Amino acid sequence: METPFNVSKYGVGIDMGKDEFHVCLSAIDQTQRVKIKATRAFKNTLRGFAEFSKWVDHHAKEPGLPVHFLMEATGVYYEQLALFLHQRQAHVCVVLPQKTACYIKALGIKSKNDRIDAQALATMACQQRLDAWKPITEAMYKLRQLTRQHTELQELKTQLSNKLMAVELGMYQSAVVQKQQAQLIKAIDKQLAECVKLIQKAISENAEWKRKVEQIYAIKGVGVLTVAQIITETNEFALFENQRQLVSYAGYDVVESQSGKRVGKTRISKRGNSRIRRAMHMASLMVVRYEQRPFVSLYERVFERTKIKMKGYVAVQRKLLTLIYALWKKDALYEENFGSEGQKKVAPTKGATLHRPQVDVLEKANMVEMIDS
């Protein structure tokens, strides 16, 4: 005799697209059996959101049972629907595509389309206990747009500078092309300066941000732009309970490759927010250049052991990121011995200072490519 299916929870999987989204509503019972109740596609508009809400209410018939919505963080397409559900006190969860891809692979699903992805997400919502999504504030969202715009403008300027150099060093030179390239670079410089002013204004107008940022950029070599990029990409570290979670989110977690007698290379995963690593990369160059003791000592130790500059800088990036996290969370002023009580001062390795950065536009671009490759 078949056991009756008594619903204990509903899961709604949402596969987002630019113009429409596919959904699947599933239910799970106390024996962990999952059944698909309904599937449908809706327009990615406010009217479509309202229709979707009524559709869920119609099919989730058991009153009082939890309904968990799950979607992937695909670009910005998910944001409006996630906010719509959050404002209606729904339990909405947003996960990275990599996490759902691993889950779908574990289920043994080989095909892929919008309907299948929505069903897999619904099953995941039913079976797993996922934290509710919390939206970023409007002020922080706009600040993040500014910091990302600044980064993109800086990358574009580097590309144009490289192209201008190629034109100037070519066998023949075109004065028209050189003039146009120079004008573009000048226009970008103007926009970069405007972005910096707007970022500084946004921070100065928020008393808490201003106080905490000033306490952090007491670290010589860390500027307001670096701190702004970190807090916007982490939403002021709101979702992190400890430094380990932050390190993993930024892609600085260590990945080992070892099996039996074979020992492969140990490296950082780089499976995380690349914007954080870019911001920390430039900051690590500067704190070592300015000989900030906790960081330059670490750099010297790692370089002495590995003879690889980049490993030293990556170690500094990770330490600097966790220090910023601690200062922000504790609302504390940076001191040179912060977090390093009891540590002995390490003398610089002979000759290692030759490898400290002489920062210019081209070297910045090359080094950023190395950390993200």
| Bigger pLDDT: 291 vs 340 | 291
Q: Report the distance separating Cα 125 and Cα 27, nearest Å.
A: 9
| Phi, then psi, of 27 in degrees rounded to 5 | -130, 150
CA angle centred on 71, ends 66 and 77, rounded to 5°: 135
Cβ–Cβ < 8 Å for 69, 132: no
Q: What per-residue confidence (pLDDT) applies to 261?
A: 65
Q: Identify each DSSP E strand in 175-308 by its residue range.
A: 254-255, 258-259, 262-263, 267-268
Over the Cα atoms of the chain, what is R_g?
25
Query: For residue range 3-43, what is the model confidence (pLDDT) as tens digits?
Result: 788 889 999 999 999 999 999 999 999 888 999 999 999 99
168 pLDDT more than 70: yes
CA dist 33 and 8 (Å) reads 10
pLDDT of 36: 93
Q: What is the pLDDT of residue 97?
A: 86
- For residue 368, which of 289, 265, 281 has the smallest C-alpha distance? 281
pLDDT value of position 337? 66
pLDDT band at 270 (very low <50, low <70, confident <90, very high): confident
What is the Cα–Cα distance from 310 to 371, expressed in whole angstroms?
8
Among 47, 53, 46, smallest CA distance to 14 is for 53
Are 325 and 276 within 8 A, CB to CB? no
- pLDDT over threshold 90, residue 230: yes
Residue 236 C-alpha from the chain's centroid: 12
CB 15 within 8 A of CB 28: no
Distance of CA 259 to the CA centre of its chain: 31
Separation CA 249–CA 240 (nearest Å):
9
Strands (E), the chain: 7-16, 20-29, 34-43, 67-72, 91-95, 254-255, 258-259, 262-263, 267-268
Task: Please write the tens of the pLDDT for every residue from 173-202.
Answer: 999 999 999 999 999 999 999 999 999 999
With 50 as the cut, is the pLDDT of residue 115 above it?
yes
More confident residue, 1 or 119: 119
